[in-house]
Amino acid sequence: MTTVGEHVVARLGEWGVRRFYGYPGDGIGGVMSALRKAVDAGDAEFVQVRHEETAAFAACADVKYGGSPIGCAVVTSGPGAIHALNGLYDAKLDHVPVVALLGHTARNAQGSGYYQEVDLLNLVKDVAGAYVAQVSEPSQVRHVVDRAARIALAHRTVTAVVLPSDVLVEDAVVEPPDAHGYAHTSAVPSTTATVPPAAALREAAALLDGCEKVAVLAGAGCLGATSELTAVADRLDAGVAKALLGKAVLDDRLPWVTGSIGLLGTRASWDLMRECDGLLIVGSTMPYSDFYPAPGQARAVQIDIDGANCGLRYDTDVNLVGDAQQTLAALLPLLRTDRDGSWREQVGQWTHAWREQSAARVRAKTHELNPELVVRELSDRLPDDAMLAVDCGTATSHFARDVDLRPGMLASLSGTLLSMGGGLPYAIAAKTAHPDRPLFALVGDGAMQMNGVNELITVSRYWQTWENPTFVVLVLNNRDLSFVTWEMRAMVGDVPFAESQDLPDVPYADWARLLGMGGRRISEPGEVAGLWEEALAADRPFVVDAVVDANVPLIPPHLTLEQVVNTAKSQLKGDPAAPLVIADGLREAVGAPARGLWHRAKDAITGG
């Protein structure tokens, strides 16, 4: 006889859910038993991670890297569900369909203050607000699972199914009776809006044709639409800036691609947005409004699969609700073809200037190993089919600016939640989804200490099952929570608090070797090239422990006087790193524009 747990797993399988990330517990035991049978039959795959947060992060990333149509995290009752919340919020904020299976206290004990009993329906009602339901009777399974999966797909969000432990082991009702009060639902996904009405497309084309200097902002919604986006950008003679989650959409080496946008973006993207008279936003809700064109500067068209996202960040004139690929294809033939190329020539000059500045930063002499040198040397050696998983912090900045993604590469991170600790879970999910492709994780030492060292145990458990063993983890080890340190200097103008910012110096490469993997620590520029050759040639996962300079500044693309003044104030308050910040940062890494602002900052502070 089929159990409720088996019915849940089988019904999710009809929705295309074959891979489950999780950690066991008695509250979810019936699902684990069902997964054992499904795995033995070749119908499912279960990945045991070290922490429920990782399970939820990995379920989200599995979808981002194209492994599954719906991600699934399986966790147990109160503590497991609480742990999973962070990864589930990552999925919600980045609009990724994930179904969470949450084990729960047995029905007869609910409300008694039983051990591990938490009000799960209230706990997850925000993160899974689109749909959360408890299965309290076997005949509910079919419609609850179907609705959870359908809504997760249709709204690109998180849903949750709460499963009391005693219900999971009862006999399933696979086919609900044909009687009043029972639901008969379908496991067939719903279609989505694809192409806007013809009149709206013509209106958008007329607006864009009336602009001479068009900028495009491309986000994660453009993934899979590279050809169509390229054709429209070429027809508009446009420059294209990329939101962080859309970095893999276009080749970073193209002269009209200005790179990332926002606080971690490029000066070329800033100039593009501040000089354009027309804006086309495709599949992006990049949140920094000050990095869009100034209010009233540009006329704007937005394309998004979700109409609620349109006009959210900029005062758009035409909003097209539809799939990016199909909408761009429908828009292309409506656009004029007589552009003269002068605007793109200007964009190319900005891009070239930014790349020259980037090369200078990479070559800059720093007190300790320059982190940008380490990342740039990796970028130049990435295989064509590389996958990148990036954690949040300084690693994000170096990924945004120093990694050139090429066609066919995959890359992602916690893009909106910007949670530390997502890098290794993302890497594990990417490699699980594509075990034949090489994987590179960029992680700061803070995130590595948060959960990365533990998830290396997961890597050590599974790597020998991978077709391609290349799994390289770069740890940017500067013994400091440096992204926050720079925020304190530049945004608050205060001296960093050593007790909150300083990190222990952990031997990450030694830990990897202890787990049976490869690893090496480096601290000198002359070691970098050979290190990457060794890591790429390794026959097993490899951890690069790069001891890098914490005082290389994270410079916004348009350095402001206020930010330099605040940084200067922090130095005058006695920042112990002041000499290194000034010498290594402003003199070497920042360049002439920042030096000019630095002198103005000194005048503003001293009155001279």
What is the pLDDT averaged over residues 518-524?
A: 97
Percent of the chain with pLDDT over 90: 79
d(CA 53, CA 244): 23
Please give the pLDDT value at position 479.
86
What is the pLDDT averaged over residues 412-426?
A: 96
10 Å CB burial of residue 538 (0-12, 13-18, 19+) is: middle
d(CA 416, CA 218): 15
Residue 561 pLDDT more than 70? no
What is the pLDDT averaged over residues 55-63?
A: 98
Q: Which residues pair with 67 in a beta bridge?
A: none
Residue 606 pLDDT more than 50? no
Please give the pLDDT value at position 592.
42
Please give the pLDDT value at position 597.
44
Please give the pLDDT value at position 562.
54
* Residue 81 vs residue 114, higher pLDDT: 81
Sheet holding 542-547, edge to edge: 410-413, 387-390, 439-444, 471-477, 542-547, 518-522
Lowest mean pLDDT among 198-207, 221-230, 399-408, 498-507: 498-507
10 Å CB burial of residue 353 (0-12, 13-18, 19+) is: middle
Decide: 54 and 21 in contact? Cβ < 8 Å: yes
- In order of 24, 136, 242, 291, 346, the CA distances from 272 in angstroms are 50, 56, 11, 10, 9
Look at residue 301 and give its three-state secondary structure. Answer: strand
10 Å CB burial of residue 518 (0-12, 13-18, 19+) is: buried
Greatest CA separation found in the chain?
A: 86
156: nearest Cα among 305, 327, 320: 305
Please give the pLDDT value at position 367.
87
* Residue 386 vs residue 558, higher pLDDT: 386
Hey, what are 480's tokens?
């400091």
Please give the pLDDT value at position 487.
64
Task: List, for residues 239-251, the tens digit of each pLDDT value.
Answer: 999 999 999 999 9
479: nearest Cα among 394, 570, 401: 394
d(CA 251, CA 408): 9
Residue 212 pLDDT more than 60? yes
DSSP 484-527: HHHHIIIII-----HHHHB-----HHHHHHHTT-EEEEE-SGGG
What is the pLDDT averaged over residues 373-381?
A: 97
Residue 92 pLDDT more than 50? yes
Task: List, for residues 435-461, the tens digit of each pLDDT value.
Answer: 999 999 999 999 999 999 999 999 999
Look at residue 221 and give its three-state secondary structure. Answer: helix
Residue 589 pLDDT more than 50? no
Please give the pLDDT value at position 315.
97
Q: Which residues pair with 546 in a beta bridge?
A: 476, 522
Please give the pLDDT value at position 410.
98
496 HSE (CA, 13 A, CB side)? 24
Task: State the chain's mean pLDDT as an integer.
Answer: 91
